[in-house]
Structure 1
Amino acid sequence: MNTLRAHVCAPPPGRLCEGPVWDPRTGELLWVDIRGGHIHRATLTGSTPDLAPRATISLDPPVSAVLPCASGGLLAAMGDTIFRVDSSVAAERSSEKSPGGTFAQALSPVVTLPLPDDGVRRRLNDAKVDPRGRLLVGTMAESDDGAGSAGLYRLDPDGTLITLRTGVTISNGLGWSPDGRTLYYADSPTHRVDFFDYDLDTGTLSEGRSFARFPDGEPDGLTVDAQGNVWIAVWGAGQVRAFDPSGNLHTTVEVGPSQVSSCAFAGPDLDVLVITTAAEGGAAREPGAGRLFACVPGVIGLPSTPFADERLVHADGR
């Protein structure tokens, strides 16, 4: 088994950094600080490599995910609603703006999830776009009585919302095999990642089967490389672990802070693994908590697909 060590990057720490995604249109990495309500953007620099902060979009927290859209804008998951961020704001090069200002006016709601009013606190969580341009987004319970109360949903380009899974507690870790026909998915408190047959024509799932287990932590965000290896952030273990398509562990990336939240391949060649971490609770005292880390693992990632929102843009005229 290979062991790698990630190095800390320049951006300042956040409280709950998550959801890194490489945007090839701008040559930038996007990620969110969920608790702060921030969408951050940075460019890769140097041969080490490092990240140079470029701009921050500040919205009302929580902002749990950000993804590029085919229209040129961004898709942002905020609370219980998916918003489209206007392309002129998505391309903004200035520094941080205040909530309720220019950026708030540039938000267009796409869909609000019909979460039940049963006293359980829920919010949107991890989100990814499938190879056909549909959004998969999960919810999570933030209260102790919320076990099994969340789900996984599919948002189609025409705005239709479909429920894919129920009985979930913390929906996390979405990623597809290179041919798009296998979906990897984590409901974090189960301490495992499951895999599903994925129908690219319909965007539907088979029953899940266990792919990898994590007795010493909870699987969080994940990404898949061009060879089909699955790189999984292990919350509580301070590592990213890579498994081959058969589920065999072959590489461990030592990060440092225990709350490793997600990972993505970045750069023009998709050869840099960028890793997000959090600084929640007592973990905030750990060196490097809430920072971004990077390493060059010797493989390349898969290009991301933008959300195919052209029909939404046509429908509302923006």
Structure 2
Amino acid sequence: MVAAIRPRRDGGFIAGLERGFCLLNDRFAVTETVTLLDCPGRAHERRGLRSPGPVLVRLDDLTPGAGALSLFDPAGGVVEAIAGISCSNALAWTRDGTRGYYVDSLTGRVDVLQLGPDGGIAERRQFVDVTGEGFLDGIAVDLADGVWLALFGSGLLLHFDGRGRRDAEIAVPVRQVTACTFAGPDYSELYITTSRFGLTDPEAPAGAVFRTKPDVGGFAPYAFGG
């Protein structure tokens, strides 16, 4: 299972798999398996990954508090940064790379992760709480440090400005909105992914990718250094 994918600084991509990472060339052929996660004392539990890149997430069976947010460095080392993680679905950085917006879906919150001088996570604080409005899924950060948040099951993307104020939304004609990302020649377009997984009565376009152009665009994703 491929959980996510990110470009590499020297070309190609890194993909987060169910139990580890692999490196891909520009044609998406696997060139190397990077690492497998080890979780001492939990060998019987199913483990998975979300959000590869300079920071990754490990989760165990969607058990509340059983996972961890870890730093994966270009040399292949994994260092646990935050414990008590439940279900990670998004991690996106501001353009200056100093702050990350992080989603643990079972909490109903988006948190801000502030990096310290050593590149580690120095602070974690609540950005917004949308408990009761849907299952939090993917996010995208725009040029103004605002955040688009996909709400799985609601057919909505919500926008919050850099101070956490909700100021816009996008309605999608399917319920299961999964993620969004900026793309296009100048990263001014927002691409929205959806799913029909598990639906007995899916909408006709369920599973399609949608495109829109918000007032504020985005920027190129950070590349993994390895």
Aligned residue number for residue 112 of structure 1 = 36
Deviation at 1:85, TM superposition (A): 1.1
Deviation at 1:65, TM superposition (A): 0.8
Aligned residue number for residue 68 of structure 1 = 7
Write out aligned runs for 1:48-67 (5 A): 62-67=1-6
Q: Percent identity?
A: 32
Distance of aligned partners of 1:136 and 1:293 in 2 relative to their CA distance in 1, 3 Å threshold: same
Aligned residue number for residue 140 of structure 1 = 59
Aligned residue number for residue 39 of structure 1 = none
1:303 to 199, 220, 223: 220
Counterpart AA for 1:191:
G
Distance 2:4 2:200 in 1: 22
Deviation at 1:307, TM superposition (A): 0.9
Please provide the CA RMSD for this pair: 1.8
Q: Is the 8 A contact 2:8 2:224 kept in 1?
A: yes
Write out aligned runs for 1:7-156 (5 A): 62-87=1-26, 89-90=27-28, 103=29, 106-116=30-40, 117-127=42-52, 129=53, 135-142=54-61, 146-156=63-73
Distance of aligned partners of 1:206 and 1:218 in 2 relative to their CA distance in 1, 3 Å threshold: farther
1:210 to 126, 135, 138: 126
Counterpart AA for 1:202:
D
Q: Is the 8 A contact 2:68 2:84 kept in 1?
A: yes
Higher Cα radius of gyration: 1
Distance 2:60 2:150 in 1: 20
Aligned residue number for residue 94 of structure 1 = none
Distance 2:98 2:193 in 1: 27
* SS class of match (1:197): strand
Distance 1:63 1:173 in 2: 15
Distance 1:63 1:107 in 2: 15
Given the alignment of the two structures, is residue 264 of structure 1 paired with residue 189 of structure 2, yes or no? no
Given the alignment of the two structures, is residue 158 of structure 1 paired with residue 75 of structure 2, yes or no? yes
Distance 1:284 1:170 in 2: 26
Deviation at 1:283, TM superposition (A): 6.3
Deviation readout 1:68-106 (Å, 9 max, x if unpaired) = 11221111111111110134x33xxxxxxxxxxxx4xx3
Counterpart AA for 2:213:
V
* SS class of match (1:189): helix
Counterpart AA for 2:7:
P
Q: Relative contact order, CA 8 A, sep 6+: which one is greater? A: 1
5+ residue gaps, structure 2:
none
* SS class of match (1:264): strand
Q: Is the 8 A contact 1:192 1:218 kept in 2?
A: no
Distance of aligned partners of 1:157 and 1:283 in 2 relative to their CA distance in 1, 3 Å threshold: farther
Deviation at 1:204, TM superposition (A): 1.4
Aligned residue number for residue 278 of structure 1 = 195
Which protein has the bigger helix share?
1
Distance 1:286 1:294 in 2: 17
| Count, aligned residues | 224
Counterpart AA for 1:265:
F
Deviation readout 1:159-201 (Å, 9 max, x if unpaired) = 22111112111112111223322221011011110112222x4
Distance 1:268 1:274 in 2: 13
Q: Is the 8 A contact 1:151 1:171 kept in 2?
A: no
